[in-house]
Structure 1
Amino acid sequence: MNVAVTQPPVTRTLAEFAVGLRYEDLPVETIEFAKQCILDSLACGIYGSTMPWSHSVARVVQSLGQAQTASVWGMRQKGDPLGVVFVNGTSAQGFELDDCHDQSMSHYGAGVVPPVVAAAEGLGSFNGRDMILATVVGYELGTRIGNTVSPSAFHRGFHPCGLTSTFASAATTGKILGLDADQFVSALGLAGSQAAGLMASQFGAMAKRFHSGKAAQNGIIAAMCAREGLTGVRDVLEAPYGGFCSTYSEKYDLSWATNGLGSEFEMLKNGFKRYSSLASSHTSVDAMQALREKHGITADDVEKVVIATTKMVHVHCGWPYVPKETITAQMNLPYTAAVTLLEGNAFIDQYVDEKLRDPKILDLANRIEVVIDPELDAGGPHEMRAVRATVKLKDGRVLEESVTYRSGHWRNPIPPEALKEKFRDLAGRVLKAEAVKTIEDIVSSLDQQESPGARLGVALQDLRD
Structure 2
Amino acid sequence: MKQRTVSEKLGEFIYKLTYQDLPEEVRDLTKLRILDTLSCAVAGRDLPHSKIASRVAQSSNGKSTIIGCHKKVALPDAVFANGVMIHSIVQDDILSGLVHPGSTVVSAAIGVGEEIGASGTEVLTATVAGYELVGRIMSATGRFSVSSFRPSPILTTFGATAAAGKLMKLSEKQLVNAIGYAASLTPGTPNEVWWSGTMEGMFQAGVSARIGILSVILAKEGATSAPQALEGKDGFFRCWGGSTAKMEKATENLGQDFVISRMRIKAFPVCGANQRPIQIAKPLAEHKLKANDIAKIVERVGTGATSYAGLDFAGPFETQFQALMSMQFCAAAAVLDRPVTSAKFFAEHYNDPEVGELARKVELMEEEGRSLPLLEVHTIDGRIYTTGEEMPDRSIYMPNKENMAGKFRLLCTDFFGEENTSQIIDIIMDMEKMDDVRKLTAKLKG
- Is this a same-fold pair by TM over 0.5? yes
Pair 1:19 & 2:15 matched = yes
Pair 1:36 & 2:32 matched = yes
The question of whether the paired residues in 2 share the 8 Å contact of 1:23 and 1:129 is answered with yes
User: Counterparts in 2 of 1:117-128, with a 5 A limit?
Assistant: 117-122=110-115, 124-128=116-120
Q: Distance in 2 between matches of 1:198 and 1:256?
A: 26
Shift of 1:45: 1.0
| Partner residue in 2 for 1:10 | 6
| Partner residue in 2 for 1:76 | 70
Shift of 1:8: 4.7
Shift in alpha-carbon separation, 1:226–1:276, aligned structure 2, 3 A: same
| Partner residue in 1 for 2:250 | 257
The question of whether the paired residues in 2 share the 8 Å contact of 1:286 and 1:407 is answered with no
Secondary structure of the residue aligned to 1:14 is: helix
User: Counterparts in 2 of 1:294-443, with a 5 A limit?
Assistant: 296=287, 298-300=289-291, 302-316=294-308, 317-343=311-337, 345-347=339-341, 348-353=343-348, 355-376=349-370, 386-394=372-380, 395-402=382-389, 407=394, 413-443=398-428
Secondary structure of the residue aligned to 2:363 is: strand
Amino acid of the residue matched to residue 61 of structure 2? Q
The Cα offsets for residues 349-373 of structure 1, whole Å up to 9 and x where unpaired, read as 42133x2222210111011122322
Q: Distance in 1 between matches of 2:414 and 2:152?
A: 26
| Partner residue in 1 for 2:137 | 145
Amino acid of the residue matched to residue 274 of structure 1? A
Shift of 1:11: 2.1
Amino acid of the residue matched to residue 171 of structure 1? A
Pair 1:211 & 2:204 matched = yes
Amino acid of the residue matched to residue 422 of structure 2? K
Amino acid of the residue matched to residue 351 of structure 1? F
| Partner residue in 2 for 1:285 | 278
Amino acid of the residue matched to residue 162 of structure 1? P
The question of whether the paired residues in 2 share the 8 Å contact of 1:142 and 1:165 is answered with yes
Pair 1:461 & 2:436 matched = no
- Matching residue within 151, 157, 169 for 1:166: 157
Shift in alpha-carbon separation, 1:198–1:169, aligned structure 2, 3 A: same
Shift in alpha-carbon separation, 1:372–1:80, aligned structure 2, 3 A: same
Q: Distance in 1 between matches of 2:386 and 2:392?
A: 20
Q: Percent identity?
A: 25
Amino acid of the residue matched to residue 183 of structure 1? Q
Secondary structure of the residue aligned to 1:306 is: strand
User: Counterparts in 2 of 1:263-274, with a 5 A limit?
Assistant: 263-274=256-267
Shift of 1:393: 3.7
Shift of 1:459: 1.0
What is the total number of aligned residue pairs between the two structures? 436
| Partner residue in 2 for 1:176 | 167
Q: Distance in 1 between matches of 2:71 and 2:149?
A: 32
| Partner residue in 1 for 2:103 | 110
- Matching residue within 220, 226, 231 for 1:233: 226
The question of whether the paired residues in 1 share the 8 Å contact of 2:29 and 2:399 is answered with no
| Partner residue in 2 for 1:193 | 184
Q: Distance in 2 between matches of 1:405 and 1:229?
A: 52
Shift of 1:116: 1.1
Consecutive unaligned residues of structure 1, counting only runs of 5 or more, are: 1-6, 377-382
Shift of 1:405: 7.7
Q: Distance in 2 between matches of 1:403 and 1:81?
A: 48
The question of whether the paired residues in 2 share the 8 Å contact of 1:70 and 1:118 is answered with yes
Amino acid of the residue matched to residue 458 of structure 1? A
Shift of 1:399: 1.5
Shift of 1:299: 4.5
Amino acid of the residue matched to residue 85 of structure 1? V
Q: Distance in 2 between matches of 1:162 and 1:404?
A: 31
Consecutive unaligned residues of structure 2, counting only runs of 5 or more, are: none
The question of whether the paired residues in 1 share the 8 Å contact of 2:297 and 2:376 is answered with yes
| Partner residue in 2 for 1:202 | 194
Q: Distance in 2 between matches of 1:444 and 1:233?
A: 40
Shift in alpha-carbon separation, 1:399–1:329, aligned structure 2, 3 A: same
Q: Distance in 2 between matches of 1:15 and 1:305?
A: 51
- Matching residue within 94, 99, 110 for 1:100: 94
Secondary structure of the residue aligned to 1:425 is: helix
